[in-house]
Structure 1
Amino acid sequence: MFRKILQISIILALIVVILGAYTRLGNAGLGCPDWPGCYGQLSVPDAKDGTTIQGFSRPLNIVKGWKEMLHRYVASTLGLTILILFFLALKGKLQHQQSLKLPGFSAFFVMLQGAFGMWTVTFLVHPGIVTLHLIGGFLTTILLVWMFLNQKKTPTTYQNVLKEHKFVLLITLTILSLQIILGGWTSANYAALSCGEYFPTCLNKWWPDLDFTHALYWGSLGANYEYGILENPARSAIQVLHRIGALITTIFMLLLIYLFRNYNHLRFNLILSVILLTIQITLGVLNVVLSLPIIIAVLHNTIALLLLLSIITMVHKTFIKHNN
């Protein structure tokens, strides 16, 4: 039962990340101005679009409201399944290398993630909170996948990986993680289109007017950050940083693939990483030249998570002790 619920949890976590990206990119983060309900109800109010609900200054937007509530419903279901996993672990209903620590931490973390979901609304989509909420969604999925990998029977044919190759793997994981965080920061600050439809240039220049001083501006917790408050030079600087990060990430990914090419037990992960990296680069370019179509933007977010999970699986196969 633990394994089956864990599989369901992983699927739910992926759906939550996708819905979260769809909600954020659809500018529906404040589709319900309160939390956990929507205009004081458990679902979107049955009223005409644009109606002003008593007690709330923001007019009702039915489409945005349902985007936000659907995300909350699935996220709540995910939280419930993770709590069930913890109680099953508490009763000893698990196998192989799994301990109580990881299910326990996952249960704590998913509640913390729920708090960040609330703060995203109460702090009016503050970029820092939104980015941390995105990171939390990715980390929740990673925790569940790591638990799943611990539940698998490990083969006896895994090759030893050289220490210097392990180091490159960890560096690549770190750089990819930072790039994903930077992507979340780009989205949270509405900076995806700050360079216009130009690629690889920005605003048709190789180095336009960029404000790196305010690119990582945290901002106060009292302002309304919907649609962003930064001036375009600061947003353009964020976009340029994201592009530079993408280049660095690609270089390290290619280095990793080259160094690990002879490890047979990691071959599938390497092939998968090549495919996902190619798709991700393509989607990133299309986001710019096509002015951020929401489907492509959501896919860009999803592929980033899948690429990260592919590297996480390689880390598990490389660093976790296997049976001999």
Structure 2
Amino acid sequence: MDDQEAVRVREFAAGLGIPGLVDVHTHFMPARVLDKVWAYFDSAGPLTGTGWPITYRVEEERRLALLREFGVLRFTSMLYPHKPAMAAWLNAWAADFAARTPDCARTATFFPEEGVEAYVREAVEGGARVFKCHVQVGGFDPADPLLDPVWGLLAEAGLPVVTHCGSGPAPGKHTGPGPVGRVLARHPRLRLVVAHLGMPEYGDFLDLAVRYERVCLDTTMAFTDFCERRAPFPVAERSRLADLGDRVVLGSDFPNIPYPYLHQLRALERLDLGDDWLRRVCHDNGLALIG
């Protein structure tokens, strides 16, 4: 880690005239779960298929300190189950984490299983501000009938659901715009946040954002050198990204990124979509989304 990186990140925000950053896609989770996630990345597992060094592999308190040194004003504790009987426990952990970490928006998650509507409702009524859904890791169809009341509840509550539904870094049985498109057809007011801009099906997910006015997209890992080598964003689609500037939000995947945090910001800057677009993406839109 670069000792001067925090200074440069803060300078980036100051240059835009914003008080700091709002990052809707950061990961905090129970230590034994995070250790398993890191071990997966270390092994170049089948979903990554490549070396993936964790840049910020440090203890939780140091990770929190780094975000604050970067001037990140608001962030999330994205966490997700890969099997049944796990989500409610993760939600309890996240509620406790948010209670002791006031700059973290209380985050919750779910899995298609008996009782899912009850524990999602409990999280909503308890103060959750954002949900995470990982279709790829969970290996489930987001249009599973068990989840229909959950999507309806979240649409009614107006809460954002950051959803890894694109087929990057490797396609899954239920990834791509089709399955989540069926969810949106049933719940058109759902505030779905497409993680990673829907990488690599960028255009298809931009289509969904055009069709459904509450769909947003997060920038997580998009445009970085690491991802442009594998799944480049089509240059022809940049104008549509600019047009949707009020529904694009900053995401980073901190701490599980194979490059410095600053690189994500520089990657957005070099799109040359203007300071107003950057201000909205890096601060205004995220603040409106997660408070």
TM over 0.5: no
Which protein shows a greater Rg? 1
- Of Structure 1 and Structure 2, the greater strand share is in 2
Higher helix share: 1
After TM superposition, the score normalised by the length of structure 2 is 0.28
